[in-house]
Amino acid sequence: MGDPGTAIPAHERRAILRRAFVDSLPVLMGYTTMGFVAGVLLAAKAGVSFAPLWAFLSSSLWVSGTMSIACVPELSQRTPWAALAMMTLAVNFRYVFYGFTMLKRWRSVPILQKAFLILALADENYALEAACQIRDPKRNLRYCTVLSALNISYWVAGVTVGAVVVSLLGHIIDPERLRSWTDGMEFSMAALFIVIFTDQVKGMLRRGK
């Protein structure tokens, strides 16, 4: 990954941060919106105590945002943890293939950082990192690390805020009414995922021309 003794100058680190942030703006808009809906569903329908804490931990630890939605009925039905773990593995299995395509690029990266980068390879993250035009390995690695941290933070913030809002509303509005208000939100999540995926594909096609 280049000369380990040569640090990236501060102005270049700032430039990489700005670039990663600008590239992540479409993900910011999508993740905070979808994450908010996921947090609302978790707090309103999963039937868990301390929903904001659940929202924060689950959105931080599950690789796929899809699991934040898929787990809601499973938690409400008190599905055994073993079955939930198998479901998580099935939903996230495609990320194994994303990780394989990046192993050569991240061959000399420390194991913990490599694990973080691979676990953060959600669909949108992978599309941006695979299309990154920064050729210097050290700078490319920094870009990927910053981008991954930004995108994860967007999702975690969205899910947590959604759960906090519903938890606060639950003190002044009948919980049954809150649950009825969230009916149909699962469809909006699927629609938003499709829109973001289509936008990413279009962007990749434009960059490939």
Higher pLDDT pick, 56 / 47 = 56
Average pLDDT over residues 37-41: 84
Q: Is the pTM of this model over 0.95?
A: no
Token pair of 193 as six digits: 């995922």
Weakest-pLDDT range from 32-41, 47-56, 64-73: 64-73
3-state helix, strand, coil in the chain (%, to 5): 75, 0, 25
Instruction: Judge contact between 61 and 191, C-beta under 8 A.
Output: no
Percent of the chain whose pLDDT exceeds 90: 19
Instruction: Judge contact between 30 and 192, C-beta under 8 A.
Output: yes
On average, the pLDDT of the chain sits at 79
How far are the Cα atoms of 32, 52, 67, 102, 104 from residue 35, in angstroms, in the given order?
5, 12, 11, 26, 32
Domain ranges of the chain: 10-198
Higher pLDDT pick, 6 / 86 = 86
Taking the CB of residue 114, how many other CB atoms lie within 10 A of it?
17
pLDDT above 60: residue 137: yes
Rg (CA), the chain: 19
Tens of pLDDT, residues 149-189 = 999 999 999 999 988 988 887 666 655 655 555 565 555 55
Listed ranges 20-29, 50-59, 63-72; the one with the highest mean pLDDT: 20-29
